[in-house]
Amino acid sequence: MKRDCPAIFVADATGLDFLNSRAMPVDTVVEWLADGEGLMQWLRESGLVSERALQTVEKNAMPGELDAVASQARSLREWFRGFVEGHRGRSLTADAIEELEPLNRLLARDEQFSQVSVANGVQTRSGLQWKKERQWKSPETLLTPIAEAIGDFVCNEEFTDVKACEGHDCTLLFVDRTRGKRRRWCSMAVCGNRAKQAAFRAKTL
């Protein structure tokens, strides 16, 4: 379960990629959120939290705090996994709102505010932009952008398009955005290629 490779982002939706932060893409289970360091790296690679914010949180964290937040992140992930597995393959309806109460409670903790700032790299009339900021007061605030990604996924994705990779022992999930909804693999280069090789071997035996 040791992390020794970059995080996997194949789901086409960050909220679903969060579920793939624990996966068995080859033959061994990899846990990207095993500890605070792993959580920080996953957030860095996902782009959900800026490097500046991560450094601020890391600087102010007490010993063991980041590991505790990583444990909370794993609990959030497994709760969300149960939700996705319970609804995957059919359209999500408003009846699911009670199941989403844990997510709403987490989102209600947020300390977000808006400010006028210089529009670096963004085209605006004045060169200024209206930008949302967050007070990163404690390591627990790292859970908020994850919760927002989950909320965005739940509200804006079609659950009938959520699929599990058909690769042998692969546990990765993804949103099928292909025309005709024919995507079968997390990656054609990995699981798709293995399936082709297996089919070829079967024909030559």
Tell me, yes or no, whether 135 lies in a domain.
no
Structural Rg of the chain based on CA atoms: 19
Tell me, yes or no, whether 87 lies in a domain.
yes
162-180 pLDDT, tens digit each: 999 998 888 999 999 999 9
Number of domains in the chain: 1
Judge if pTM exceeds 0.85: yes
Tell me, yes or no, whether 188 lies in a domain.
yes
We report the CATH number of the domain holding residue 166 as 1.10.3300.10
Tell me, yes or no, whether 124 lies in a domain.
no
Q: Report percent pLDDT > 90 for the chain.
A: 67
Tell me, yes or no, whether 118 lies in a domain.
no
- Which residues of the chain fall below pLDDT 70? 1-4, 25-26, 195-205
Tell me, yes or no, whether 116 lies in a domain.
no
pLDDT at 80: 98
Q: Which of 173, 116, 112 is nearest to 144 (CA)?
A: 112
Is beta strand 22-23 parallel, antiparallel or unpaired with respect to 30-31?
Answer: antiparallel
Tell me, yes or no, whether 55 lies in a domain.
yes
103-141 pLDDT, tens digit each: 999 999 998 888 888 887 777 778 888 888 888 989 999
Tell me, yes or no, whether 9 lies in a domain.
no
Domain ranges, residue 98: 14-106+142-204
